[in-house]
Structure 1
Amino acid sequence: MEHGEDVIAELMSDHRTIEALFSQFEGTPPGSDARKRLADEITIEWVRHAVAEEEHLYPAVRDHLDGGEALADREVAVHERVEQLLKELEGCEPQALDFNRLMVKVRTEVTAHVREEERTLFPRLREGVHPFILESLGRKVRESKKTAPTRPHPSAPSTPPANRLLAPGLGLVDRTRDFLSGRGQGLP
């Protein structure tokens, strides 16, 4: 998908990509290898997206919006729940009973998160933050996703500065593992 210049357009594009992957997942036969591949792609896209939000979006929310601290904390909590579910999913084979149950939970959490951001958070950002800052954040988010982890790390820090220091190293290890295993081939 074409990514926009500001952080809102960038993150909304990520949302559409993840939604499309969920739709593809639903269209594949239960227990199939295609479902495992799509679950891996969803995981990769979600983790990169979540890391970028935690590194750049939520600090800006805390700094620029009234009540931003609580709002950012709530969204980070959703990220942590999804990441824990994805970690559980990582160890499941697509034929396992838990596989589909976990994917339903992941989709439910992600869908609610997307809805909350797009209906509440993004309009508040658009209204309360200068376009220059939003564009700067968009560039930072795009750069962050290039080095972000691609696997869930639920015990990793989710707030700066620790997350900004650890994410590139975890990302390098994850991308090396992905390359060696063939996981996520064809994704940017």
Structure 2
Amino acid sequence: MTTAAEDIVDNLLAQHQQIKTLFAQVAAAQGPHKEELFHELVGLLAVHESVEESLVHPLAEDKLPDGEDVVPPRLAEEQEAKEELAKLYDLGVDHPDFDLRLTMLRDAVTAHAEAEEEFEFSRLREVVDADRLEKLTASMRAVSAMSPTRPHPNVPPKASANLLLGPPLAVFDRVRDALRDATKGA
């Protein structure tokens, strides 16, 4: 049962929509604006996956009767997306293969999001108390603040790895982002 207050599922669903919108905006943009939008997409995907790996997937594994069967494919999809996103980041938006690879990543991420929505999110609402899902929104904000802003495919997709390695990587990423942004005007 859904309450009037937003819960973690509402927030993740909203991010799924935002991710789809950003994919479309990146595909349509050109030049520096395209790069700017792509960096926004990279940051959102990195934070989003950290939240899911730290909070949602462990909850689904624990609470869903078939959680141990549902979650591993989602983690594998996230790992593949991180690897491709890192490759795209290294290629840059001006590379001739960028648009095709972005389209392939968009399709994979969209299919992944739909699977999460069907096999995890909707079912979590059936088995987890609404108050707990609402309270996880605060945890989501905390994890988001400590999450890297770039994909790190070498970090295992586990809550413990995200909690241990996420904060130092987040600091490193945010410094790199600040330096990148500062040198744009130079």
TM-score, normalised relative to structure 1: 0.89
Per-residue CA deviation, residues 165-187 of structure 1 (Å, 9 max, x unaligned), is 1101111110111011118x9xx
Match of 1:21 in 2: 22
Match of 1:173 in 2: 172
Aligned residues: 179
Q: CA deviation at 1:24?
A: 1.3
Per-residue CA deviation, residues 78-106 of structure 1 (Å, 9 max, x unaligned), is 11011000110111132212211221121
Q: 2:6 & 2:164 partners in 1: Cα distance?
A: 25
Contact 1:5 1:139 in 2 (8 A): no
Match of 1:127 in 2: 126
Q: 1:36 & 1:126 partners in 2: Cα distance?
A: 37
Q: 2:27 & 2:98 partners in 1: Cα distance?
A: 13
Higher helix proportion (structure 1 or 2): 2
Match of 2:91 in 1: 92
CA RMSD after TM alignment: 1.7
Give 3-state SS (helix, strand or coil) of 1:161's partner: helix
TM-score, normalised relative to structure 2: 0.90
User: Counterparts in 2 of 1:66-85, with a 5 A limit?
Assistant: 66-85=65-84
Q: CA deviation at 1:22?
A: 1.4
Sequence identity percentage: 32
Q: 2:92 & 2:140 partners in 1: Cα distance?
A: 32
Match of 2:40 in 1: 41
Of the structure 1 ranges 111-120 and 145-154, higher mean CA displacement relative to structure 2 is found in: 111-120
Q: CA deviation at 1:162?
A: 2.4
Q: CA deviation at 1:59?
A: 0.6
The one-letter code of the counterpart of 2:164 is L
Match of 1:106 in 2: 105
Match of 2:9 in 1: 8
Q: CA deviation at 1:156?
A: 0.6
Q: 1:169 & 1:161 partners in 2: Cα distance?
A: 14
Match of 2:158 in 1: 159
Of the structure 1 ranges 153-162 and 172-181, higher mean CA displacement relative to structure 2 is found in: 153-162
- Where do 5+ consecutive residues of structure 2 fail to align? none
Query: Once superposed, which parts of structure 1, at least 4 consecutive aligned residues long, lie more than 4 Å away?
Result: none
Of the structure 1 ranges 42-51 and 88-97, higher mean CA displacement relative to structure 2 is found in: 88-97
Q: CA deviation at 1:163?
A: 2.1
Give 3-state SS (helix, strand or coil) of 1:182's partner: helix
- Where do 5+ consecutive residues of structure 1 fail to align? none
